Amino acid sequence: MPRVLPTGTPVRVLPKKLAKVANVNADPLWEGPAGTGPNGGITFSLLSRFLVCRERFRVHAVLGLRPADDFNHRLEFGSM
């Protein structure tokens, strides 16, 4: 059974989708575990993301891509 993302997309499709995204910032956002700046070091959440899926960790930490925010009708219609 092929591995799929929570969205239902097969993992093998992810590199094709990432190739379409232009990398505007050539410098990585995360300075690595030995970084001394505000973007350096390692946290438990970063470590757990890495252990779950290395490619998704790279997309999140190095490229800085995040999933799109979902529309929550309860919040939107409650704030009218």
| 33-69 tens-digit pLDDT | 777 777 777 888 888 988 999 998 888 887 888 877 7
Q: How many domains does the chain have?
A: 1
* Position 45 in a domain: yes
Mean pLDDT of the residues in the chain: 74
Residue 59's domain spans which residues?
28-68
- Going from the C-alpha of 68 to that of each of 7, 42, 43, 61, the distances in angstroms are 12, 24, 23, 16
* Position 64 in a domain: yes
* Position 80 in a domain: no
- The alpha carbon of residue 13 and the mean position of all alpha carbons in its chain are separated, in whole angstroms, by 15
* Position 11 in a domain: no
* Position 75 in a domain: no
